[in-house]
Structure 1
């Protein structure tokens, strides 16, 4: 694996908001090397591309199964009838929809709520990976910068959808999530278990009846509070989604401004050099004229 791909794999596995600061810091760290410009040129992924990259890393087995099914279907569909192809399309849609639901869950656990619009782009990316081999390679790289789209008829142009051309053929490493350790439980016989159980049950019943009375009184007020909070929660989620979209737009604008600033600085330096040369030429011509007049 090239050093650029090693860096890209780390960057594109980060939370979306951390990508740009981490990329710029890495480029600064590599300043003075050819790799610095390559790292700086790595594009921030769209939300849909980030979700797809997250899915590849956190549910690698599921993605590999989708790609394997896609490859098998591409081989089989050449000999299928129209009815069989329509059934195949329906089955493919059901599969990509189910996997997209899983991707939304993974993104939500990572702290990002996926909108319907983004989910549609993720599903389109999965579909493209099933119908087009190069799209499958792009998805499996985990280095997408934009969502994929393919018809299965014409070859898809995936070069602009991945972080670097060499990403095709690269496979992102899965992220291992360790299950929490569970203590071993042992049952020790108790000779007074029955009597203790009766006493405990009687005590629990009395406590439960008291709690039921209190809960009944509080239920109506709690139900109203839940309804109000649910409505407020939906409103806040909508506002969060809107703010995240705005942040993405501002970050993109900031990146474009950085690029334009760099180009403007280069143009200024070139203009200053030309001005200096022109000034020298003018001074030389003036000197020649003065000599001729003597």
Structure 2
């Protein structure tokens, strides 16, 4: 859904992208700005300030939407594969999910620190719980991707998550926050130390800095492209691994059932062979009795 298709979504998208300390004064200013439209002003006034953990997740969604999309895609693949996993594989699935959410949480904390906000361990735990919920439940994933969270999320994977008060407004579900990469830092202006001042030193320094920025951006673009490609490959291979593990588990189950059936047939075969041997002995005894009866009959006058 595009933010421009709905004024309140467009306003909320911009508002929840602000530094946490700027949220309330910016919201109040927007209410005054749109006071002519009472319904819109009322909707803006109802937008709640996000918790610290929710703000960090919203920041992550805007700074690195590709990473969030990959996390949600892996979550969907793991949910599809989970139904066929045995206890051991479920433990491995949980371990992989925790490793992924921990890694993304670390990245989110770094982004927050770059924005001047140092997160506590308690906040980091809430961020990780929110990312876990996004992997476990599709609706939680949509709430996270909206970038309009106002509280952290926590889910068990049983579909019991209530998102009523978790997002800024109900229509946030299905909305995707606009990507907002961090602004490139201004080139550091260092004093030029010359015995004889160079009148063109400032211009040369700016040109060199601009050239360095352009080169760095080119390298960054290629690196990000390769990174996204590598993440997609990892996601596909993780999903394929889980699928193969599920198929192996099914085949092992079938083999175990067949081996059990072979043992039962072997037991029945042994019993049948014993009965056959007894029957053969009885036949031989009967034949001998017939011959003896015939011989006795032949001796009669």
Post-superposition shift, 1:147?
0.2
Tell me, yes or no, if structure 1 residue 7 matches structure 2 residue 28. no
- Contact 1:141/1:169 (<8 A) preserved: yes
Answer yes or no: is 1:71 the counterpart of 2:55: no
Q: TM-score, normalised by structure 2?
A: 0.59
User: Structure 1 regions of 5+ residues with no counterpart?
Assistant: 186-294
Task: Name 1:96's counterpart in structure 2.
Answer: 101
Is residue 42 of structure 2 the alignment partner of residue 37 of structure 1?
yes
Question: How far 1:60 sits from its partner (Å)?
Answer: 1.0
- Report the secondary structure of 1:79's partner residue: coil
The answer to whether the Cα contact below 8 Å between 1:132 and 1:152 also exists between their aligned partners in 2 is yes
Call closer, same or farther: CA 1:114–1:178 in 2, change over 3 Å.
closer
Q: Deviations over 1:208-260 (max 9, x none)?
A: xxxxxxxxxxxxxxxxxxxxxxxxxxxxxxxxxxxxxxxxxxxxxxxxxxxxx
Rounded Cα–Cα distance in structure 1 between residues aligned with 2:50 and 2:83 = 35
Say yes or no: does 1:23 pair with 2:27. yes
Greater RCO (Cα-Cα under 8 Å, separation 6 or more): 2
Instruction: Tell me the equivalent position of 1:119.
Output: 124
Q: Does 2:174 correspond to 1:173?
A: no
Q: Which runs of 5+ in 2 are unaligned?
A: 186-209, 216-301
CA distance in 1, matches of 2:18, 2:108: 16
Measured after TM superposition, the shift of residue 178 of structure 1 is 6.1
> TM-score scaled to structure 1, two decimals?
0.61
Structure label with greater radius of gyration: 2
- Is residue 133 of structure 2 the alignment partner of residue 146 of structure 1? no
Within 2, Cα distance between the matches of 1:8 and 1:18?
13
CA distance in 2, matches of 1:168, 1:159: 10
Contact map agreement 2:64 2:181 (CA 8 A) in 1: no
Matched-pair contact (CA < 8 Å) for 2:76–2:135? yes
Q: Cα offset for 1:162? A: 0.2
